[in-house]
Amino acid sequence: MNKQHIVIVGGGFGGVNAAQSLKNAPVQVTLIDRRNHHLFQPLLYQVATGHLSPADIASPLRRLFKRQPNVRVLLGEVTGFDVTRQKVLLSDGAVPYDTLIVAAGAGHHYFGNDHWQKWAPPLKTVEDALEIRRRVLSAFEMAERAADPATMRAWLTFVIIGGGPTGVEMAGALAEVAHKALRHEFRAINPADARIILVQSPAAILPTYDPALAQKGAAALEKMGVSVRTQARVTAVSPRSVTLQSGAAVEVVPTHTVVWAAGVKASPLGEVLARATDAMLDRSGRVLVQPDLSVPGHDNIFVVGDLAHTLNEVGQPLPGVAQVAIQQGKYVAQLLQHRLDGRRVRPFRYQSRGDMAQIGRQTAVVQIGSVRLVGVLAWHLWWIVHLMYLAGFQNRLIVFLQWTWSYFTHSRPALLITRQNESEPEVAGFPLETVG
Amino acid sequence: MNKQHIVIVGGGFGGVNAAQSLKNAPVQVTLIDRRNHHLFQPLLYQVATGHLSPADIASPLRRLFKRQPNVRVLLGEVTGFDVTRQKVLLSDGAVPYDTLIVAAGAGHHYFGNDHWQKWAPPLKTVEDALEIRRRVLSAFEMAERAADPATMRAWLTFVIIGGGPTGVEMAGALAEVAHKALRHEFRAINPADARIILVQSPAAILPTYDPALAQKGAAALEKMGVSVRTQARVTAVSPRSVTLQSGAAVEVVPTHTVVWAAGVKASPLGEVLARATDAMLDRSGRVLVQPDLSVPGHDNIFVVGDLAHTLNEVGQPLPGVAQVAIQQGKYVAQLLQHRLDGRRVRPFRYQSRGDMAQIGRQTAVVQIGSVRLVGVLAWHLWWIVHLMYLAGFQNRLIVFLQWTWSYFTHSRPALLITRQNESEPEVAGFPLETVG
């Protein structure tokens, strides 16, 4: 009798944890991803600010499952689901399944303004991080060559849109790059003159945090030189500026470097799956699932992670954070094992292990249960937790060294400008004269 | 009275060493490069084979000169030289000089077949290394999905063109990736079945080495699974194959992954400089300079490194290696200091510190003076020397760790597939159906 074949779509936190948790189950697993590596996204902003290299936070999927013979890794792009014949359709083939776990994650939401993406890139993949790094460093280079103060100022203005943990961490790291890491490296400009503006539409940054803690976080950012603008909406993004609206006041901020850290939209595979299974989607495109994370009417199809719309005990949707994906991936693996054993299965229950966000060198905000921490201790705790969850021993060693290094110095080892595209201009500025 | 202004074009070994050696001279230095970092090219092949990350071997130029106030770094592209008005012309400006040092280096020579470059990329920049890494890893992924043995075989065949140190090191590292690092990671293929072919036009690989040592190197490569083809010329390169000619025999090798490590051509700035100064060029485009490295008739214009055609005591041109560039950069700096002091200046004399090439994990060939070494000792010596010359303490620490790590394991930490271009297909294979 053939072993049950479980196909997992997505090699992020949800998919990898599901596959790893099936290690001892009498099943065959195929993990499909269109990239060859698992990315530790919580540390991605550190690649964007030159503190880590991509390889420090990414693990080739094959290496993760090298010693797990019941897992096969396939590099491929999923284009559809044939639910009748039980096959996952790829751009160049198909993979049959007995059970399907869709963990395709989420991307960024530009709220209908997708054309903003070119000038306000998101921070989701290694390429995103490297592009942001390139733009940030190039901005300082362009400022150094600026012919007049207004041009210099525009190049030394950085806008981060979105005041959740990603935006906050990005802003803090950027402030540190400008005020510390690049100090003394320029002659015509003082990098510490850089203005970093963090734009948040709600009334406070870190809205999922205790308000008092979030306030302390905002104060820490301001102290580092970040200008925090809450209750400000972005209404336009161009290669030269960002337009903010606060109540009736409209402000045009001249800038050439914008990072998008606001709004999450589920992977397009959510819609593809919904059409194939008659499932429903929420406003962000996430698939509404049963308490056991299965798709209604399809007890052999599950959705976990950012792609799933699940509720906590008080009926609120769970956030799209790594912890949720990790726990859901493990849950589904356990559910499948229980089924094989004929044991009853309980609904998924999320156990929050707290939230933490790094504000800059040696400051972080942490809330775990009723514990609230801000400052150096929180900063160390932040590193410890992130290290624990980082896959791969080599990665942990390198990142541990970076943690130690950054405790003693302001130096950032990976402040390189590398080009994505050979046809880009040699000097990494923007071809302003050709863009409207 | 204004200080003498020295402009250095190029932030490679020659330019950086010249600038650093002018630390205590009463001069102002401007170092221009179109990239923001100094690249330690001898270790670039290790980025191409996933052993190091770009940041491990590249140092932002600004950081190198942070504590040297008389050096200003400019990110810019040099387009010409106005020798009459003594200005270096940039794509977007001009920089006046009193003394000019051109250290623009070299690129790759495709012997009139520039269209081969697309399918046989060179190994010169960080982007080159990352592209090669992407192709190599993608080839294994494509082999894993291959529908028939011939397709699988073509994907598992890798051809390296050029049997000098670069080609040899690349071949050895690739053999190690195939036979060790990727072992157990695939299910349909055995990566150790990969064929690696090193193609060399002359009669032996490592032609600048003692023939007996080169022979030992070739034997070590064969033992690692590399097929060494000497006296074989490449006559065609396509996305599907490479055509080799050996005497009258012609062989078409089906392959999708080719690396070009043969033939060096000077930077186009050599020709630009020659036209501006009436200097002469050799066949590779290098500028013929005086014994003091100055351009004939222009005692305030110097050329150092790969761009310069200089002779040793027996009248042979010096090779385009890092050591020569380092010594020449230091020499010119010293010459300029001597001139300021009114001291006599002696001609440049190259002191060879030997040659070394790594063949794979724990084997290298080294020749220093009359000393010949092959094996593990040579391997350690190789790492020590490269570490000493690597700029930047952080880089040395990380690379030192990689050395230690690779002594104990076969693991390669940076085996990531990252895309250069967002419009490339999600699965990193080649669009064979659209290419002739």
Query: What's the pLDDT tens digit per position in B327-336?
Result: 999 999 999 9
The whole-number pLDDT of residue B51 equals 86
- In a domain? residue A399: no
CB contact residues (below 8 A), chain A span 414-433, against chain B:
414-422, 426-428
CB contact residues (below 8 A), chain B span 6-25, against chain A:
none
Chain B contact probe: residue of A138, A185, A189, A430 with most B CBs at under 10 A: A185
Q: How far is A1 from chain B (nearest CA, A)?
A: 21
| Whether residue A335 is found in the same domain as residue A214 | no
Among residues B206, B227, B262, the one where a domain terminates is B262
- In a domain? residue A414: no
The whole-number pLDDT of residue A425 equals 39
Q: Which domain holds residue A300?
A: 4-34+76-108+264-340
B contacts of A426 (beta carbons < 8 Å): 34, 77, 91
| Contact state of A184 with B67 under an 8 Å Cβ cutoff | yes
Q: Rounded mean pLDDT of chain A?
A: 89
Residue A238 near residue A255 (C-beta atoms within 8 A): no
Provide the number of structural domains found in chain A: 2
Which range, of A17-31, A347-361, B51-65, B384-398, averages the lowest pLDDT? B384-398
| Active-site hit among A169, A271, A313, A426 | A169
Nearest-angstrom CA–CA distance, B399 and B122: 23
The whole-number pLDDT of residue B2 equals 77
| Whether residue B150 is found in the same domain as residue B196 | yes
Quick check: A207 pLDDT over 70?
yes
Reading the block at residue B291, the tokens are 């014994």
The whole-number pLDDT of residue A107 equals 87
Q: How far from A433 is each of A146, A157, A241, B92, B365, CA to CA, in Å?
A: 15, 20, 15, 13, 53
Quick check: A421 pLDDT over 70?
no
Quick one: average pLDDT of A13-37?
Answer: 96
A87/A353: higher pLDDT: A87
The whole-number pLDDT of residue A416 equals 77
- In a domain? residue A433: no
| Contact state of A145 with B37 under an 8 Å Cβ cutoff | no
Quick one: average pLDDT of B345-353?
Answer: 91
| Contact state of B60 with A397 under an 8 Å Cβ cutoff | no
Reading the block at residue B82, the tokens are 């106005």
> Which residues, 6+ apart, have CB-to-CB distance to A274 below 8 Å?
A280, A281, A287
The whole-number pLDDT of residue B326 equals 95
The whole-number pLDDT of residue A410 equals 66
- In a domain? residue A281: yes
The whole-number pLDDT of residue A27 equals 97
| Closest by Cβ to B54, choosing from A418, A422, A427 | A418
Catalytic residues of B: 169
| Whether residue A151 is found in the same domain as residue A232 | yes
| Whether residue B217 is found in the same domain as residue B239 | yes
Quick one: average pLDDT of B262-288?
Answer: 94
- In a domain? residue B64: no
pLDDT tens profile B214-268: 999 999 999 999 999 999 999 999 999 999 999 999 999 999 999 999 888 999 9
CA R_g for chain B: 22
- In a domain? residue A241: yes
| Contact state of B418 with A127 under an 8 Å Cβ cutoff | yes
CB contact residues (below 8 A), chain B span 47-66, against chain A:
50, 53-56, 58, 60, 62-63, 65-66
pLDDT tens profile A146-196: 989 999 999 999 999 999 999 999 999 999 999 888 888 899 999 999 999
| Whether residue A279 is found in the same domain as residue A245 | no
Which 3 state secondary structure label does DSSP give B427? coil
Nearest-angstrom CA–CA distance, B45 and A167: 36
Which 3 state secondary structure label does DSSP give B297? coil
A contacts of B34 (beta carbons < 8 Å): 426-427
Nearest-angstrom CA–CA distance, B23 and B399: 27
Chain A contact probe: residue of B46, B63, B424 with most A CBs at under 10 A: B63
| Whether residue A139 is found in the same domain as residue A233 | yes
Quick check: B280 pLDDT over 70?
yes
Among A179-193, A227-241, A407-421, top mean pLDDT goes to: A227-241
Quick check: A430 pLDDT over 70?
no
Size of interface A-B (CB pairs under 8 A): 149
| Contact state of A36 with B417 under an 8 Å Cβ cutoff | yes
Confidence of residue A263 (pLDDT cuts 50, 70, 90): confident
| Closest by Cβ to A187, choosing from B63, B72, B184 | B72
Nearest-angstrom CA–CA distance, B138 and B149: 17
The whole-number pLDDT of residue A403 equals 76
| Closest by Cβ to B62, choosing from A34, A185, A398 | A185
Residue A89 near chain B (CB below 8 Å): no
Strands B58-60 and B37-39: antiparallel
| Whether residue B208 is found in the same domain as residue B231 | yes
A contacts of B267 (beta carbons < 8 Å): none
Residue A77 near residue B426 (C-beta atoms within 8 A): yes
pLDDT tens profile A303-349: 999 999 999 888 889 988 899 999 999 999 999 999 999 999 999 99
| Closest by Cβ to A60, choosing from B75, B398, B416 | B416
Which 3 state secondary structure label does DSSP give B110? coil
Residues of chain A with pLDDT > 70: what percent? 93
The whole-number pLDDT of residue B1 equals 56
CA R_g for chain A: 22
Among residues A217, A233, A262, the one where a domain terminates is A262
The whole-number pLDDT of residue B419 equals 66
Residue A178 near chain B (CB below 8 Å): no
Quick check: B199 pLDDT over 80?
yes
Q: How far is A67 from chain B (nearest CA, A)?
A: 7
| Whether residue B99 is found in the same domain as residue B197 | no
| Closest by Cβ to A53, choosing from B54, B67, B411 | B54
B contacts of A56 (beta carbons < 8 Å): 53
Residue A148 near chain B (CB below 8 Å): no
Nearest-angstrom CA–CA distance, B135 and B114: 19
Provide the CATH number for the domain around residue B286.
3.50.50.60
B/e letters for A73-110, b = 16+ CB within 10 Å, e = fewer, are bbbbbbebbebeebbbbbeeeebebebbbbbbbbbbbb
| Whether residue B276 is found in the same domain as residue B211 | no
Nearest-angstrom CA–CA distance, B36 and A138: 9
CB contact residues (below 8 A), chain B span 266-305, against chain A:
none
Reading the block at residue A306, the tokens are 């950012």
| Contact state of A426 with B91 under an 8 Å Cβ cutoff | yes
Sheet of strand A226-229: strand arrangement: A226-229, A195-199, A157-161, A257-260
| Whether residue A184 is found in the same domain as residue A208 | yes
| Whether residue B320 is found in the same domain as residue B224 | no
Token pair 């990110």: residue = B75
- In a domain? residue B226: yes
Quick check: A122 pLDDT over 80?
yes
Q: Rounded mean pLDDT of chain B?
A: 89
Residue A93 near chain B (CB below 8 Å): yes
Residue B163 near residue B172 (C-beta atoms within 8 A): no
| Whether residue A221 is found in the same domain as residue A301 | no
Sheet of strand B78-82: strand arrangement: B78-82, B87-90, B93-96
Q: How far is A89 from chain B (nearest CA, A)?
A: 14
Residue A398 near residue A56 (C-beta atoms within 8 A): yes
Provide the CATH number for the domain around residue B232.
3.50.50.100
B contacts of A11 (beta carbons < 8 Å): none
Among residues A340, A356, A373, the one where a domain terminates is A340
B112/A392: higher pLDDT: B112
- In a domain? residue B409: no
